[in-house]
Each structure stands twice: as C-alpha cells, then as structure tokens.
Amino acid sequence: MNWLGLPARAEDKLAQVVTDALGRRRLRHAGVEVSTRARLMGLPIVSRCDDSRIMIGDDVVLCSHSRWTALGVAHPVVLRTLRAGALLAIGRGTGISGGSFCAAVSIRIGERCLLGADVLIADTDFHALDPACRETGWDDIACAPIDIGDDVFIGARAVILKGVRIGDGAVVGAGAVVTRSVPAHAVVAGNPAAIVRSRERGTP
Ligand SMILES: CC(C)(COP(=O)(O)OP(=O)(O)OC[C@H]1O[C@@H](n2cnc3c(N)ncnc32)[C@H](O)[C@@H]1OP(=O)(O)O)[C@@H](O)C(=O)NCCC(=O)NCCS
C-alpha cells in the first residue's frame, strides 16, 4: 500500500496512464506527429521550431522516468528541432530511455531500435568553432544529418555526433562517442568509437 491507499501495482498503472495522457497532450500541443500506438512513460520535454517536424511512429516507447527503466534515467527524454526545415523521426517499435535528440537538419531513427539510458544524439555542433562567428546564427555552425538504421542497439550514455550513419543491426557500446559512420551489423565501442567486431545476421 502507498499514500493513496492503493496496492503498489495499481499505483504504478495509474501513474503510467496519467503520464501517458499528459505526455501525449504535451507532444500534440507542440505539434509533434505522434502515433496513437506510441507509449509515453513519464513526461518528455519537447520543443519544435515552426516549419519543422517531429514524428513518433507506432509502438515507440519513450521512457522519461527512472521508475520504468532498469538503469534509471538522468532526465526525461528531450526531443527538439532547432530550426525551420528540421526533421526528427523515430521509427516503429523503437524504445528510448531518457536521452536528448536535437535536430537542426535531420535525425532519422529506424524501426525496432533500442536506445539505452541517456543516449545523446545531435546533428549539429550548436556553436561555431571560431569565436568571431558565434553571434552570426546558423551560417557558421556545422550540421549534418544523422541516419540510424533498423534494429540498432545503442548502449547507455553513448553520444552520436553529426553526419553519422549507423547501419541496420549495428551495436554501439555504452559510453561510445560515435564520430564516423558504422557499417551494418558492426559492434563499435570507445571514444572515438571503433569496430570491436562484426555480427553475422542472426548471431549474438
Ligand atoms: C558493446 C557491447 C555490446 C560489446 O559486448 P561484447 O560483444 O560482449 O564485447 P566484449 O565484452 O567481448 O568486448 C570486446 C572488446 O570491446 C571492448 N569494449 C566492449 N564494450 C566497450 C565499451 N562500452 N566501451 C569501450 N570498450 C568496450 C572490450 O574491452 C573488448 O576489448 P578487448 O578485445 O581489447 O579486450 C557491450 O560491451 C556494451 O557496451 N553493452 C551496452 C550495455 C548497455 O548500455 N545497455 C543498455 C542498458 S539501458
């Protein structure tokens, strides 16, 4: 029993139903195209620029609260588009725990991917490298699309940087910093991430 006088499981279910409804409302209010079959566990943080798109597919699970994910999350899922024309798309059946997803041009995440706790994916450096150019807007800020294939597994706290493509079935180790593209079915780890081995389709 808890302070509401409910058994723990009933309280948990109630919290899930309430946060799913509130989270969905929050996403829709921000203009996110979210499937009725997506599941929100806890409230994500979202901001969408005008004339940009955030799309969340069928059976996507966004977990924004430590209560519902084994490792816990440092903060809720953060979904942002940063400028007009940007796209952030999360494919059917993908599961995400916490983490930040910031698109200035395009981030596409495929189907059935697993993104461990607190992954960070950003397709831009956010700031110009040259201090003299830091007040001039987007013109001097490097941006390049990120494309993540289907069935990709990204370990906790990995960082995926601009311009990276990750092939179908690839695995990214916990804490990896991925600066270069990853072939399909490769296992990469470390900083900068390097191939540790390759998986044949259907093997562990
Ligand atoms: C990447 C991973 C899947 C590799 O597992 P594996 O195939 O069993 O690989 P091994 O443990 O045999 O390691 C192979 C090599 O890669 C290195 N390695 C493995 N994971 C690493 C990581 N995250 N960072 C740096 N190096 C790593 C190992 O030290 C080893 O190096 P060596 O050959 O020089 O000894 C695993 O280590 C990992 O990071 N899993 C992610 C777990 C996670 O975050 N889950 C999400 C929960 S929400």
What are the residue boundaries of the structural domains of the chain, listed by start?
Answer: 8-198
- Distance between the two ends of the chain, CA-based, in angstroms? 41
Q: What is the mean pLDDT of the chain?
A: 94
188 ligand 1 Cβ < 6 A: no
Rounded to whole angstroms, the Cα distance separating 24 from 40 reads 7
Rounded to whole angstroms, the Cα distance separating 111 from 96 reads 12
63 ligand 1 Cβ < 6 A: no
* Percentage, residues of the chain above pLDDT 70: 96
What pLDDT score does 10 carry?
Answer: 85
Task: Please list, in sequence order, all residues whose beta carbon lies within 8 angstroms of the beta carbon of residue 8, skipping any fewer than 6 positions away.
Answer: 1, 2
What pLDDT score does 4 carry?
Answer: 65
Radius of gyration, alpha carbons of the chain: 18
What pLDDT score does 12 carry?
Answer: 84
Q: State mean pLDDT over 50-65.
A: 98
Beta-strand pair 194-198/186-189: antiparallel
Q: Across the strands, what pairs with 108?
A: 89, 147
Model confidence at 203: pLDDT above 70: no
What pLDDT score does 204 carry?
Answer: 65
Distance (Å) from CA 189 to ligand 1 centroid:
6
Pocket test for ligand 1, best of 196, 199, 203 (most atoms within 8 A of CB): 196
Q: State mean pLDDT over 59-85.
A: 97
What pLDDT score does 9 carry?
Answer: 81
Model confidence at 94: pLDDT above 70: yes
Q: Across the strands, what pairs with 33?
A: 55
The pLDDT confidence band at residue 8, using thresholds 50, 70 and 90, is confident
Q: State mean pLDDT over 162-191.
A: 98
Q: State mean pLDDT over 64-80.
A: 96
Amino acid identity of 134? R
74 ligand 1 Cβ < 6 A: no
Maximum C-alpha span of the chain: 60
What pLDDT score does 137 carry?
Answer: 82
* Chain-centre distance for alpha carbon 171: 15
Distance (Å) from CA 188 to ligand 1 centroid:
8
Amino acid identity of 22? L
156 ligand 1 Cβ < 6 A: yes
Distance (Å) from CA 134 to ligand 1 centroid:
38
Q: Which structure tokens are listed for 129?
A: 């490298």
Q: How far is CA 39 from CA 54, 64, 92, in A?
A: 16, 11, 11
* Percentage, residues of the chain above pLDDT 90: 83
Model confidence at 2: pLDDT above 70: no
Contact by Cβ (8 Å): 200, 183: no
Q: Closest by alpha carbon to 161, among 124, 117, 113?
A: 124
Ligand 1 atom 20: the closest Cα is on which residue?
Answer: 173
The pLDDT confidence band at residue 194, using thresholds 50, 70 and 90, is very high
- Written out in words, the top-level CATH class of the domain with range 8-198 is mainly beta
Q: Cβ of 135: how many Cβ atoms within 10 Å?
A: 8
